[in-house]
Amino acid sequence: MEPHWDDLRIFLAVAREESLSAAGRRLKVDPATVGRRVGRLEAALETPLFVKSPTGYALTDAGQRLMGHAARVEQALQMASEELGGETGGLSGQIRIGAPDGSANYLLPQVCSKIANENPDLEIQIVALPRVFSLSKREADLVVAVSPPTAGRLMVQKITDYKLHLAAARWYLKSHPPITSLDDLKDHKIIGYIPDMIFDKELDYLSEIGVEKPSIGSNSVSVQINCVRIGGGVGIVHDFSLPFHKGVKKILTDQFSLTRGFYLVRHEDDKRLERLNRFSEALCNGIREEVARLEGGT
C-alpha cells in the first residue's frame, strides 16, 4: 500500500515535534488520530518509523531516511500551490521565525507587526529561545542568528550589524563607586550570560572585559537588562534595547564597544518558495530599519 500525503504530513509533524500531542496541536488533530495515522504509515511501509524515548518520539533509521523524502514532497506541494495560486498578492499561511530573545523582544515585534498589518491572511509565529534552531527538523521556517552557520544545506544572508555597550541604571551610578575606567568594574557586580549556557561564541561578551563569570547570570537578554534596570549592577546591553529602558545609561563608551551581526538563515530547499523569499526580504529590511532607528535613540 502506497503512503498517503496526509499520513506523511502527520509523520513530519511528529518527527519535528517529537510528541504526538505537540504534533496534534500543530496540525489541530486529536493526538489519538495522530498515533493511528503513524501506525497506518508504519504498516504501509512495513517498518517502524519511531521509537518511544524518555524525551518523546525519536526517529528510527528508516524514519530518518523517510524524513528527507517527505520534506521534499512537502516542498513540492508548497511550490505547486504557489505557482497555481499566483502569490502575487498579499502573503498568507503560517511562517515561523526562530530568534534569540534579544532580537525577538526588541526588534521582531515591531517588524512583524508591520508585515502582518500589510498581509492580513498571514500568521507569523516568533519563537524566542536562547539556543540554536534546527531548520532540518523544521523547528522554524527561517532563523535570525547571531553568527553564520558553517555546516548544513543552508542559505545565509547578513542582515545588519548592531552595537553593544556597558550600561547601568542612572540611580545606580549615583549611589555606587564611580566608573571612569574598565578597571573600576572590579568594584561592581557584573550582569551577563551564564557561562555554560552560552549557545554561540558571539554572545561571550564578558570575556571581552576580562570577567570569567557574572555576579548575576541569565541565559536571557531580557532578564539581564531588567537586572541592570533595577540597579542590580553593570551589564553589556544591546544599544537597540536602551530606548525601552529610559533609566539605563551607557557608560565608558570611549573605552568599550562591541559590534555583532544578525544573519538570516534558511534551508537550501526553500530557495524557490516565493512566499518565503518575499517574507525574508521584508523581514531583513524591517530589522535593518529598526536597528538604525533604535540605535539612533528614536
Q: Taking the domains of the chain in order of start, what are their residue ranges?
A: 5-85, 93-160+261-295, 161-258
Kindly indicate the confidence band of residue 1, based on its pLDDT and cuts at 50, 70 and 90: low
Cβ-based neighbour number of residue 229 at 10 Å: 20
Express each pLDDT in 236-274 by its tens digit.
999 999 999 999 999 999 999 999 999 999 988 777 788
Share the mean pLDDT of the chain. Answer: 88
Express each pLDDT in 42-57 by its tens digit.
988 889 999 987 778 9
Highest mean pLDDT among 77-91, 109-123, 197-211: 109-123
- Asked if 233 and 215 count as a contact pair (C-beta separation under 8 A), the reply is yes
Residue 167, amino acid: A
Instruction: Write down the pLDDT at residue 8.
Output: 87
Q: Which CATH architecture has domain 93-160+261-295?
A: 3-Layer(aba) Sandwich (3.40)
Q: Which CATH architecture has domain 5-85?
A: Orthogonal Bundle (1.10)
Q: In CATH, which of 2.40.50.140, 3.50.50.60, 3.40.190.10, 3.40.50.300 is domain 161-258?
A: 3.40.190.10
Residue 187, amino acid: D
Instruction: Write down the pLDDT at residue 133.
Output: 55
Q: What is the DSSP letter of 195?
A: G
Q: What is the mean pLDDT of residues 278-297?
A: 95
- Alpha-carbon span 248 to 155, nearest angstrom: 37
Q: What is the mean pLDDT of residues 155-175?
A: 96
- Tell me whether domains 93-160+261-295 and 161-258 share a fold: yes
